[in-house]
Amino acid sequence: MWLLCLTGPAAFAQHTNNKTTDSDTSRLLKELMVYGQKRQIASITKTPTPLIDLPISVQLIDRKLIEQQQITDVRDAIKNVSGITVTGTYGDGYAMFNGRGFSMNFNSNFRWNGILMQTTGRLYGDNIERIEILKGPASIQYGDVAPGAVMNFVSKKPLDYEYRRFELKVGEYGFVRPTLDLSGALTPAKNLLYRLNASYESSNHFIDKINGKNYLIAPSITWKIIPALEWNVELTAKNDNRTFAPGLVSPDGTFEGLKKIPRGLFLGEPDSRHRYNETSVYSTLSYKISNHLSIRNVSYYSKAQEQEESVFFPDGKADENGNLNRTTEFFQTFTGIAGTTLDLVGKFSTFGVHHDFVIGADYTRRNYTIFYNDPVELKPFNMYHPVYGENILPKIIGYDGDPDKPKQFITRYGAYVQDQLKMWDERIHLMLGVRFNKTIQGTKYTAANPTPANYKDDVKKPLSPRIALLVKPLKDLSVYASYTQSYEQNGWDELTNIMLQSTDAKQIEFGAKSNLFSGKLGIGLSVFQIDKKNIVGYVFGLDSAPDWPHLAYNEYYKWAMYQGGHHRSRGVELDINGKITPQLSINIATSYINATVVEDPAFKSGNQLEGNAKQTFNIWADYVLDKGRLKGLEFGYGFFYKGKFYASTQNLPDAVVKAYWSMDASIGYSYRQFFTRLNVSNLTNNIGYLARSGLYEPLWVRRSTLSIGVKF
């Protein structure tokens, strides 16, 4: 049990009273943090192997870092990890991420305690203990995933001592966020525990007309049925309602043209909204068979409803007078995800060779139904003299449970085995693994919407292997090499009535990991190459059907779809995190990633992939005074840099998004149960943008956030 406590929040507990009770000792162990990679483990790997012994790249964003930076959005959290960036959002309703040069698939690359989660809403919640990033292909653990990275959110669990925390965050632009975290035992024997996380947020935006509200309620119960058997049930209910933010188009279609308009300009309609509502329930049953063998089952059901009342720009730019054509697109999506996993994790020895193994199986079923209205053109709009409210926006007419509406589905089955063999006094590690997959993707048609001719479900049964070698010349130093594969299911395309091939990827990675200062500071270095083939791609802004091979062309939206090609990503990543001294903690993340077209029907060989910044560098340092009259005073500083990138894989020279950097600063103070912190982000008020397919999203201006709280 003590080892599991070491993976908790990064709160280095200190006692001011030499006399401690059993309860105090229990609480101390639960809040203790061992920095670096010496003893930390990550649940995303599905094994209790220390990170320094894993021949794969895994990084953690822990609770302490989240609190230091006052993070309320995953987009701010992932700045602390190398190789992961934000490429854009859909109307500011949900974000899109890039991992090692490739887009992360929101249908498969995001997990909640290791299981598939809903992703079209805001991902962050105050019930998150830490965020885990597994870089590269993760098909052994999760099957059908994009190859860049998998992001896993680990939820807070009930505690066996009384814990109360209330915090109020307030800030500029009407930002208000109260949060509540309660936990403790429901029985004197402490075999029935509870935890409740709740939050509410209301905020405006530096962009005109934009506002939003969201709330989260997340209760959980842990029942220690017997010492070896534990059952945890958690419920998550969240709601998000905000103005649909369409972003900006350049008046002349170039990046420099953005200087002609204010970055706070709103090109949408105040009445258009992004609405998201989700209810999820998770059941985790863990049984410790022996000291070296345990079994774990997770079953879950998640239901979400999303409504997008979007405004977009079919021409991609305005005329010379600033007149802009705008169109609405309204749709609703109803999604249900259900599944179960079963993992047997253990260790044994044979003839001097130690084995750490996992044998598992999983099943997931995802159903989704989409209702949409045909696009409706809005009245003329001038970006230099904007007038709002002149349009009556149409509303969606669909509803959940329509028996005549076709329903899309994807069903995933998987069985996997992985063994890490440790030889020669555990100086040589050999990891071998394989996953057997069966993925079925298709549409359930109805009598009112009959099955198209020649339709069939897309069924794939690939094998996903992994092989890796790790060598430990020193106790706190490891070097490794690994080879992995992945695949992404693409299914039946309703526009062309053809079956799309799966997109496949292979990765070769070399790396080194080390722990310094008695394991308090961890260092991870990785060098990799990922090759991705049979890509399904889109090209936007086409005035006519292209002359290169394509599957479909949409005359109204002016895009073409194709499949084929070969893209490659090569890079170097460095992550340093932990404590240099008891007072000073740091987090450094930097990467150089060259993601290019090798061959492609639509793009030139050598072109950079959309949204990929070759260079990133991020550092955060926090210093806390732990002695003297100013004990409890804390200072933080961050510098975040993202190099230039292209808004599309076409690599148009006038659409290069310039490099962007920002500085953050914080000051905090804690005294007994009370704490407060002031954070200022983008201290120098720099101007930066996200971009994709000719659409630009301005990054936040300088912003201050003050928190006041109490915990006991």
**Residue 660 counted as domain residue:** yes
Average pLDDT for 126-146:
87
Parallel, antiparallel or unpaired: strands 192-204 and 211-226: antiparallel
Domain of residue 208, residue span: 34-711
Write down the residue that tokens 């999303």 correspond to. 306
Please name the residues in contact with 431: beta carbons below 8 A apart, sequence gap of 6 or more.
Answer: 55, 418, 419, 420, 421, 466, 467, 468, 469, 470, 482
Instruction: With a cut of 60, say whether residue 26 has pLDDT above it.
Output: no
Q: What confidence category does residue 371 fall into, taking pLDDT thresholds of 50, 70 and 90? A: confident
Give the model's pLDDT for residue 400.
64
Q: Can you give the pLDDT at residue 18? A: 37
Mean pLDDT score, 50-79: 94
The predicted model gives 268-285 an average pLDDT of: 95
CATH label of the domain that carries residue 52: 2.40.170.20
Pairing mode, strands 229-243 and 273-290: antiparallel
Residue pair 607/645 in contact (Cβ under 8 Å)? The answer is no
Length of the chain (residues): 712
Q: Is residue 483 part of a domain?
A: yes
Round to the nearest angstrom and report the end-to-end CA distance of the chain. 24
Q: Compute the mean pLDDT over every residue in the chain, rounded to the nearest whole number.
A: 89
pLDDT tens readout for residues 412-427: 999 999 999 999 999 9
Q: Is 604 helix (H, G, I), strand (E, B) or coil?
A: coil
Region 329-344: mean pLDDT is: 92
Is 654 within the bounds of a domain? yes
pLDDT at 396: 61
Asked if the model's pLDDT at residue 10 lies above 70, the reply is no
Cα(74)–Cα(61) distance, rounded to whole angstroms?
10
Q: What is the pLDDT of residues 151-178, one digit of tens each?
A: 999 999 999 999 999 999 999 999 999 9
User: What is the tens place of the pLDDT at every residue in 235-255?
Assistant: 999 999 999 999 999 988 889
| Number of domains composing the chain | 1
Asked if pLDDT for residue 495 goes beyond 90, the answer is no
- Domain annotation covers residue 651: yes
Q: What count of other Cβ atoms lies within 10 Å of the Cβ of residue 705?
A: 19
Domain-located, residue 2? no
Quick: pLDDT tens for 432-478: 999 999 999 888 888 888 888 778 888 889 898 999 999 999 999 99
Provide mean pLDDT across the span 45-49. Answer: 86
CB 465 within 8 A of CB 430: no
CB 694 within 8 A of CB 655: yes
Residues 6+ apart with CB under 8 A from 466: 139, 140, 418, 431, 432, 433, 434, 482, 483, 484, 485
Query: Which long-range contacts link 211-214 to residues 24+ away (Cβ below 8 Å)?
Result: 211/174, 211/242, 211/243, 212/92, 212/240, 212/241, 212/242, 212/243, 213/240, 213/241, 213/242, 214/122, 214/238, 214/239, 214/240, 214/241, 214/242
Any domain includes 605 = yes
Q: What is the mean pLDDT of residues 561-581?
A: 95
Q: Is pTM beyond 0.85 here?
A: yes
pLDDT of residue 406: 85
What pLDDT is stored for residue 618 in this prediction?
97
The mean pLDDT of 667-684, rounded to a whole number, is 97
Q: Where are the beta strands (DSSP E) in 256-352?
A: 273-290, 293-312, 323-324, 327-350
Given a contact cutoff of 8 angstroms between Cβ atoms, the answer to whether 615 and 605 are in contact is no
Output the pLDDT for position 376.
86
- Which one is predicted more confidently, 248 or 370? 248
pLDDT at 191: 96
pLDDT at 497: 66
Q: Which of 261-270, 371-380, 479-488 has the lowest mean pLDDT?
A: 371-380
User: In the chain, pLDDT over 90 holds for what percent of residues?
Assistant: 68
On whether the CB atoms of residues 508 and 466 are closer than 8 A, the answer is: no
Task: Give per-residue pLDDT as tens, 616-673.
Answer: 999 999 999 999 899 999 999 999 999 999 988 999 888 899 999 999 999 999 999 9
Q: Is residue 329 part of a domain?
A: yes
Nearest-CA neighbor of 464 among 57, 149, 44, 139? 139
pLDDT at position 398 is: 61
Residue 22 lies in a domain: no
DSSP letter at 527 equals E
pLDDT score, position 565 = 92
Residue-wise pLDDT for 684-710, tens only, equals 999 999 998 778 999 999 999 999 999
Is the pLDDT at 29 greater than 50, yes or no? no
Q: What is the pLDDT of residue 13?
A: 29
- Average pLDDT over every residue of 35-50: 69
303-312: average pLDDT = 91
Give the residue carrying structure tokens 């101007």. 687
Residue 229 predicted with pLDDT over 90? yes
Tokens read off for 43 = 């649940």
**Residue 124 reports pLDDT greater than 80:** yes
